[in-house]
Structure 1
């Protein structure tokens, strides 16, 4: 009888979205460091690197001209403009990972999440939206970064409610009151989604083998 191989499952597209400052980047980093089966989808962007960011690690930093070429050539799974900069997810590495049973994590906004869910790979996606515990806490987190001007923080706060209005489009919604609790919930979601029947392509052959074994025993 054919053994049930864990590597035979299809991979997951794990979409993690939230308003800026709600904690998705921290949660994404924790998930990646704790689960070697998950890889990060490194997006392309036209924004300049922030201090400490490395090309090819946090983002692929490209020119606006190169980004538009990638869009025109169909090389991006999703793309969007956020605060005047372009962001997008390269398609080819994602398609290869899913076919090989590897999970890919996307740290994207609601526009990117929507495009992924509506793409041919949407059936492989599981989407999780992270909400802040309050607007006051969101404001505090944004200011604590020390990276943005007061004007940029005000713009991010204004955008936060617009982004939060898309919560109902997601499979799961978590209020990030505590990082450890939120992390435990995300791990539970991923464990359950990996076991969905449609992600176990080996099961049909396994059940046919069971039927053949049953028929052979009945005839013996």
Structure 2
């Protein structure tokens, strides 16, 4: 059986990364599966270990970090960790499927560095920082302060774009989906 490949998709918050990935998954033209992330937070009602997340104890998560079991992890809030296990990527690619990682920009750069040519990295970029600010304001879900923090973080993250294999500007969602699809089809068919 031929091994699957690793697809890394990163973007600043609000740039349409999850929308693009979900549209491609729904089409079903590219064989790809999400990796299940690990966390040390307790499961919420209805969440299943190994389906929604791999739920680890604080000690088990820290032990996995020290053993180098993660391709990337982050302490999102003090004491609250999320990460992608190497074993999860191996499980999917060894099963002959492509794995898609929807991860932050720094994580995307690190995973690409770790896997090299086995992975493709795609950076989704807003047409401009002002367009991103408008989208975030248009959502109406956040305070002005929260929006300014996201915009400042996005400006910082856009600086990582040159470290990705491909950059796709999401100015028109349909066009962005087509561009990402074309990149992934070329990569997975090699």
- TM interval, shorter chain, is 0.7 to 0.9
CA distance in 1, matches of 2:39, 2:161: 24
- Is residue 157 of structure 2 the alignment partner of residue 171 of structure 1? no
Look up the match of 1:212.
Answer: none
Give secondary structure in 1 for the equivalent of 2:146: helix
Compute the displacement of 1:163 (Å).
0.4
Which structure's CA Rg is the greater one?
1
Look up the match of 2:98.
Answer: 103
| CA RMSD after TM alignment | 2.8
Compute the displacement of 1:58 (Å).
5.8
Structure 1, unaligned stretches of length 5 or more? 1-7, 197-220
CA distance in 2, matches of 1:151, 1:45: 28
Look up the match of 1:77.
Answer: 71
CA distance in 1, matches of 2:133, 2:56: 30
- Is residue 22 of structure 2 the alignment partner of residue 24 of structure 1? no
Give secondary structure in 1 for the equivalent of 2:82: strand
Compute the displacement of 1:54 (Å).
5.1
Under a length normalisation based on structure 1, what TM-score does the superposition of the two structures give? Answer: 0.72
Are 1:131 and 1:164, in contact at CA under 8 Å, matched by a contact in 2?
yes
Q: Deviations over 1:90-127 (max 9, x none)?
A: 221211222232100001112111221222x3331000
Are 2:34 and 2:99, in contact at CA under 8 Å, matched by a contact in 1?
yes
CA distance in 1, matches of 2:187, 2:101: 16
Give secondary structure in 1 for the equivalent of 2:65: helix
CA distance in 2, matches of 1:136, 1:108: 23
CA distance in 2, matches of 1:64, 1:152: 29
